[in-house]
Amino acid sequence: MGHKKLREEKNCLNCGHTVEERFCTHCGQENLEIHDSAFHLIIHYIQDMFHYDGKFWHTLKVLVLKPGQVAKEYMEGRRSQNLEPLRFYVFASTVFFLLLFYLVNSEKWSVHTDPKFNYNKRLYNLEQERKFLEGSPDTAYAVLLKKGVKVKLDSIRKIDNDTSRTGLPIKITIPASTDTSKIGWLEAWLDKRAEKRNDELSEKHEGDQNGILAEIGIEAFHKLPQLLFLSMPFFAFFLKLLYLRKRRNYVEHLIFSFYFFAYLFVVLSIYVLLIFVQTENKLVLNVLSYLSGGLTIYMYVYLLLAMKRFYGGRWRYLLLRYVLLVFLFISIFLILFILTLVGIYFF
């Protein structure tokens, strides 16, 4: 920790005793400056990650080249050479999402439709104009224009048999329940909330369905860190269920999950960098393509090898557990993703 600045005063801020050198001989607290800038806090965090005789690099090397070894060493008590699981997870995920959000410009996701053919938006603006002119002689003209645009919109949808040219209409309605004594009140509330949200989004984007979809997509994209973090305890829980006979406690499965997810973030960081490399050299492009393909395959093989080293067991049972684990994890991630979309839309 020698990179941090020491206080000039010799009194310990924790117990008040005199500090002769770096640490208080009475309570053990380090006599460091407490007022630090945000920049220095970040620098200190990064320095802490890489100090202690290359602890970070040792953890990274073993984690990537020997699947499951770091988690196994941690559970066996050999922890001095490796970073703690939560700390390594936080660092790896932070680097990955910083890269992802920097390289992927989500603000450009919206589909820009020629105003002449954005009939949803034109229809919305004409409806607002009709409301504004209501009661005046010009109302009939606004109604006529609106009907013309609506006929054109309906004809396009009929020809295309979808909404690909006009955007997917966002309209959620909750079917009314005949039994109002049980859940009818909830359905009524959801229907009211959906109608209000529809109006809010339509007003914000002037009826432009592409803009509405882009906004929801951007919000969901920025929820990915929370989604992956929330899905990890489920991943550990599924491991607990699949290895009930091993009589391991939940924390052991969680430790394995922390290191596995940290590995994923490391590999995905490399993958993202490879994707966004811009070059016209065909040889380089071919090499990057092979590297990307190799990383993709290794991500799937890695989990299998990590489970083998950490949990042991015969290959035939391991393969079955592996397939079930991947299926359960994908399922819970999709459920969480759908719930996130519902949350974004309703709230």
What is the pLDDT, as a whole number, of residue 149? 65
| pLDDT at site 169 | 45
Q: What is the pLDDT of residue 168?
A: 42
Cα separation, 249 vs 215, whole angstroms: 42
CA torsion 98-100-101-107 (nearest 10°) is: 170
d(CA 327, CA 308): 18
| Positions of the chain with pLDDT under 50 | 1-2, 52-53, 114-116, 162-170, 172-174, 176-178, 180
Give Dmax (Cα) for the chain.
91
The rounded distance, in Å, linking the Cα atoms of 186 and 177 is: 10
Take residue 317 and report the two structure tokens written for it: 């049972």
Q: Token pair of 307, please?
A: 């489970």
What residues are paired with 6 via a beta bridge?
32
What pLDDT shows up at residue 103? 80
CA distance 229 to 337: 12
pLDDT the model gives residue 53: 46
- Number of Cβ within a 10 Å radius of residue 44: 16
Q: pLDDT tens digits, residue range 124-175?
A: 666 666 666 676 776 665 666 666 666 666 666 665 554 444 444 445 444 5
Half-sphere exposure of 285 (CA within 13 A, CB side): 5
| Lookup: tokens for 120 | 């949803």
pTM of the model: 0.66
Contacts of 194-201 with C-beta under 8 Å, sequence gap 24+, read 194/345, 194/346, 197/172, 197/345, 197/346, 198/170, 198/171, 198/172, 201/170
pLDDT of residue 170: 47
pLDDT of residue 222: 80
What local confidence, expressed as pLDDT, does residue 307 receive? 94
